[in-house]
Structure 1
């Protein structure tokens, strides 16, 4: 049997978990998602990274997989701006640095706002837009998987990644920064995502109800 982590389903726009402020956690916590059973945070981080690579992303926050906790994973690739996005080049072969952050605190180092970069989100697939204002440089202080305090400074594209993932922990999405006219252009796609999100939640509720019925038999 393979030891490779399974892949988490990514929650889509319209799922309430994406709009809730995530709660703090300890590095010794155990978390559980339907269909996966209890996992320690190292297992969760490994599975989140595998999920992110499978989706060809650069970051993934815990709420995006249904876990309302203050945790995200991110990587820095050899080509920061994902010039090879959409190709079949194995992303793992291009990783320079890998980050797993628990309870991150974000501080702005350079307040200059950059709006020219294109931004997207694994929870809002196939929508990419410029105009999201992000600080050019930030610092994050966080706890690692061993419970040690760490800090990292980032600028430009990696700073944007960190700010995007940190927003997820605050219940914010990148489209919140876009003009309403721009968001309205994607109304049909967003409504379709909301329907998919509801269907996924309905399946989870039915699975949970079936599990409870079996327990009572």
Structure 2
């Protein structure tokens, strides 16, 4: 998830080895519509196009990717990995609008969250529509009125394999719900009337084309990598 005051910057497109950040999967990519599978802290994961990593290494790189994209949350399907994992952060609010926008986002972090197999439950079923919402996989599109539960509890497994439960409300609750949606193949536009998506049709077509280009580049890299392995 991205926030309106943190405009996203495109990640560089490169594959191979251990990445500093991951390329972002964009609207139109089939992985964003798949239901993600559960995982364990001891699993070895392989983001398409990169070397295998531990869950902790993937989570750390996801956080770096999220900071690079100036987001507040990132789910594993958004990097092409259909597992039930997301990261999120709380940032310190600046006293004045736009103050500190040039500072590294890490300097504004109050708390980081890494959640494996999260389950979100309503503590207050009354829906809140008061925040604008955006998504790192749908860059440049923001909408008001996305209905989210105002208060939730989230049960999850941490990186140490321990079960945890926490409560969140207002904006943080929205972030957790947004990221959990990604694990079930849902996007924030799905919660709005179809006319909203239609209003963004031109922008979404451009994003879909960028997604197709990315997948073509990844397929080409995979094929050449296979050839190199057989030399």
TM-score, normalisation: structure 1: 0.93
Match of 1:104 in 2: 118
The structure 1 residue matched to 2:84, chosen from 56, 59, 70, is: 70
Report matched runs for 1:125-136 at 5 Å.
Answer: 125-136=139-150
Task: Describe how 1:139-178 pairs up with structure 2 within 5 A.
Answer: 139-178=153-192
Note if contact 1:140-1:152 (Cα within 8 Å) is conserved in structure 2. yes
Verify: 1:198 aligned to 2:212, yes or no.
yes
Question: Does the 8 A contact of 1:121 with 1:127 survive in 2?
Answer: yes
Change (3 A) 1:85 1:102: farther
Specify the alignment match of 2:57 in structure 1: 43
RMSD: 1.7
Question: Unpaired segments of 5 or more residues in structure 1?
Answer: none
Gaps of 5+ in 2: 1-17
Shift of 1:72: 0.1
The answer to whether the 8 A contact 1:56-1:85 is kept is no
Q: Cα deviation per residue 1:73-95 (whole Å; 9 max; x = unaligned)?
A: 00011129xx6499322211111
> Which of 119, 127, 148 is residue 113 of structure 1 equivalent to?
127
Q: Which runs of 4+ in 1 moved over 3 A?
A: 83-86
Give the paired residue count.
212
Which residue is 2:36 aligned to?
22
Q: When the two structures are superposed, what TM-score results if normalisation uses the length of structure 2?
A: 0.88
